[in-house]
Structure 1
Amino acid sequence: MASETVRPNPADLGIEDLRTHVADEMQRTRDRSIALTSAVDDDELVRQHSPLMSPLVWDLAHVGSQEEIWLVRDVGGRQAVRPDIDDLYDAFQHARADRPALPLLGPTEARNYVTTVRDKVLDLLDRSPLEGRRLVEQAFAFGMIVQHEQQHDETMLATHQLRNGDPVLDDEPPPAAVDADSLPDEVLVPGGPFVMGTSTEPWALDNERPAHEVHVADFRIDTTPVTNGQFLRFLDSGGYDQPRWWSEQGWQYRQRADLRAPLFWKDDGGTWLRRRFGHVEPVALDEPVVHVCFYEAQAYANWAGKRLPTEQEWEKAARFDPRSGRSLRYPWGQADPQQGRANLGQRHLRPAPAGAYPTGAAPCGARQLIGDVWEWTASDFAPYPGFTAFPYREYSEVFFGASHKVLRGGSFGTDVAACRGTFRNWDYPIRRQIFAGFRCARTPDSDELG
């Protein structure tokens, strides 16, 4: 994928510059959707590569349907393009496993549909005042649709990882970890209050709001995500066969699903190989482990004498600047990510080695908190104090509860538009097809605090 350019903050733009920014973001996002769907032939577009995922053609038409509903109809107040397909592309109406049996739009029809919708959206973007309603202030609805499509692009990327066949996606090799050997294993984050969440980020989604003060006790957190090499030591020690490291629910799932290693790993006579977007290659020991579920991450942390960080701990490590006493937009400051700071945007189809991106380090010294792998936390997905669903309950509210665990930080497949220091992801603790890894934390002993 193309490298990032400097992206302005919508909050800093006048109306006309904001229109240009929105149009650029929508085009950049659509280019990615087209690249992911044009990389395979039409037969593969309509095929279900895993019951966990939709056919790629469903995702393509779905992003068009949401764009039509929210922008053409709601923001623009214009005549519906295809109201007859609303139910087909309502994610709550049909489980992913059932979608191939639906009368979906074919590849050509889906492409024509999303193009028609986009033409209408660009026309109304030129005419919308971008003020007067909360939905359009600072182009929020347009930013919401950009993020929605980018989230589905990452989902489509996960589908590409699940498909069998020759490689079809191109990427660049990630940067090396320049000073990894000199990094400490952990960093200390002093206890105290910090401001979690945001009330000012213009395109932040409802579950990131509002900003609120949280007190976190002293904790230590791994400097980098747990690597394949570290996780292999847990595996080689028999960690998958010892119930003592697993929670009761985790052990039940490990047995039921017969988990023996991260997803896509294979033992080839004593050498561990992985399948990565059609390539079969030795497991890279210095890269963050990916495609592990919450229960595997939790078991590793127990084995290592640690635990998973809470969501509050993760965000304090990623955002709190003790020099100013303020929370930053990103670990490195207020500016959006650039190539040298984080592995985002599908530029590399793998995590970068642990210790990469020194200029992206947080004030506490932790690295790669943004990009590379989504990081499981110990926290259930829950609303912040003062939460208000906006613009619809189904984005966040219906998922709150103990059945979903929070992931933070984004992955190599996450776009910068859908990733920031306050961004919250969530999933079932059994999910392994997502680009998820983790880092550990622990409560320090009193003699470590000086």
Structure 2
Amino acid sequence: MTSTHHLGEQGTSRLRSHVAGELERTRRRSAALTDAVDEADLVRQHSPLMSPLVWDLAHIGSQEEIWLVRDVGGIPAIRPDIDDLYDAFQHKRCDRPQLPLLGPAEARGYVRTVREKVLDVLDRTPLEGRRLVERAFAFGMIVQHEQQHDETMLATHQLRDGPPALVEEPTPAAPADAAALPLEVAVPGGPFVMGTSTEPWALDNERPAHEVFVDDFLIDTTPVTNGRFLEFVDAGGYDDPRWWSAAGWAYRQRADLRAPRFWRRDGDRWLRRRFGHVEPVPPDEPVVHVSFHEAEAFAAWAGKRLPTEQEWEKAARFDPRSGRSRRYPWGDEDPGPEHANLGQRHLRPAPAGAYPAGAAPCGARQLIGDVWEWTATDFLPYPGFAAFPYREYSEVFFGPEHKVLRGGSFGTDASACRGTFRNWDFPIRRQIFAGVRCARTPAPDEIG
């Protein structure tokens, strides 16, 4: 995204066109996720962990109205009566089905009306002079917000019972060199710039850019595969408290964990349920639907550990030749289909080793897309953090209760994923599209 400073009318016009395209592209995804099922499925709660799909749809419209219609546009409220209904902090997900929610037809009509007004606001709003609109930030924030809820709705689809409802493209095969890749790559220690102060649509918890020193470490070349994770399962990893933290072992016992979520044993093989399909667990795909506790236990069993957030970002962004941090592992250009498995094109991770064009300078692959990767780091603010434009996006979640995830998944849109993007969740969460990549501290003289 290019700044509107000194671009003049033509540059501002291009930016408006880009924003309009992103809003429309995002809305097509929201429509596809909600049009794929009938009204009964839209209003049903498929899991107490998730909202009914119709709540997510109207919430998307409510946030768009509050920020772009009322705040940016200065237009009187369309539906002030529903603000509390769709305030995520007012009502727990498990309680939302009991609320007087908008029905499917009314929710669709509401988001359509909001969008019509937003496009008018976009046409007449100067995209500079006020921080909220500088370089179309508020519009980008809303695009990312909707895409984040689209990924949440995708997770709800995974939790619903019934036949497949979503359309997917075939995933790419692993490249010819995948089998020859080293198991891990070395990242020499030293300083690098973490976070960003220049990415136009970066959210507050990604800011500001700051220098961090990281010691030498090694990190897995690819995310951990199902086949490798199955070795942990078969070795009795879920039954051995040696590999688990105290909190992790207590959770494993309480929840009776035996394998990643959606796996089930069928004789001498394992099957998984994936968006209505039941299929053998593919050994070469990255494991998905594991909690932080499972990821941490696997890493301990493997003689490794989870990477810190700082290590993960250095592996993903730092270019030792230039000494600078890139926007993405492959460079500064926006993600293309050759770089990463993003945007719900495929409803599964690609085989480990895929997307060589998306490799980082250190040689690690699939750091963006496929599966969110748990890190060992608590979700905390960067030095110099300032909440913007509201505390409830990041600040209220800071603390040891949440662990940071990085990199995005096959269900994450490119607009809501970059080398600095930070996700977070409770360490017990398994319904999210999360996997694991291990790291370790080298032995003396192992990294020259």
Whether these two folds match at TM > 0.5 is: yes
Aligned length: 442
Please give the per-residue CA displacement for 1:143-164, whole angstroms capped at 9, x wherever unaligned: 0000000000000000000000
The aligned counterpart of 2:210 is: 212
Cα distance in 2, alignment partners of residues 211 and 130 from structure 1: 23
The aligned residue for residue 51 of structure 1 is 48
Deviations 1:161-216 (A, max 9, x none): 00000001010111111111110000000000000000000000000000000000
Identify the residue that residue 82 of structure 2 maps to in structure 1: 85
Q: Find the counterpart in structure 2 of residue 103 from structure 1.
A: 100
2:261 counterpart residue number: 263
The amino acid of 2:29's aligned partner reads R
1:112-157 Cα deviation digits (max 9, x unpaired):
0000000000011101011111000000000000000000000000
1:363-406 residue CA offsets vs partner (Å, 9 max, x unmatched): 00000000000000000000000000000000000000000000
Q: Please show how residues 14-413 of structure 1 align to structure 2 within 5 Å.
A: 14-178=11-175, 179-413=177-411
Deviation sequence 1:249-274 (CA, Å, 0-9, x none): 00000000000000000000111000
1:210-265 CA-partner distances (Å, limit 9, x unpaired): 00000000000000000000000000000000000000000000000000000000
- Partners of 1:129 and 1:340 in 2: how far apart? 35
For the residues of structure 1 that align with 2:77 and 2:336, how far apart are their CA atoms? 38
Cα distance in 2 between the residues matched to 1:238 and 1:218: 32
- What's 1:3 paired with? none
Whole-angstrom distance in 2 between the partners of 1:246 and 1:100: 36
For residue 162 of structure 2, give the secondary structure of its aligned residue in structure 1: coil
- Aligned amino acid, residue 291 of structure 2: C
Cα distance in 2 for partners of 1:365, 1:205 equals 28
Segment drifting more, 284-293 vs 176-185: 176-185
C-alpha displacement of 1:10: 3.9
**What amino acid is aligned across from residue 105 of structure 1 in structure 2?**
L
TM-score, length-scaled by structure 1? 0.98
What is the Cα-based RMSD across aligned positions, in Å?
Answer: 0.7
* Structure 1 CA distance for aligned equivalents of residues 179 and 380 of structure 2: 38
Identity of aligned residues (%): 81
Task: Output the amino acid matched with 2:346.
Answer: H
How far apart, in 1, do the equivalents of 2:153 and 2:404 lie? 21
Deviating 4+ runs (over 4 angstroms): none
- Is the partner of 1:338 in helix, strand or coil? coil
| Structure-2 separation of matches of 1:354 and 1:445 | 26
Q: Distance in 2 between matches of 1:431 and 1:336?
A: 30
CA-CA distance at 1:438 after TM superposition: 1.1
Mapped to 2, the partners of 1:142 and 1:31 lie a distance apart of 16
SS of equivalent to 2:193? strand
Q: Which runs of 5+ in 2 are unaligned?
A: none
Residue 432 (structure 1) shift: 0.2
CA distance in 2, matches of 1:129, 1:298: 48
State the distance in 2 between where 1:234 and 1:438 align: 13
Secondary structure of the residue aligned to 1:429 is: coil
Match of 2:78, SS state, is coil
Q: 1:275 and 1:109 mapped to 2: Cα distance?
A: 33
SS in structure 1 of the partner of residue 373 of structure 2: strand
**Structure 1 CA distance, aligned partners of 2:17 and 2:334?**
18
Match of residue 430 from structure 2: 432
In the alignment, the residues of structure 2 paired with residue 181 and residue 165 of structure 1 have an alpha-carbon distance, to the nearest angstrom, of 36
TM-score in terms of structure 2 length: 0.98
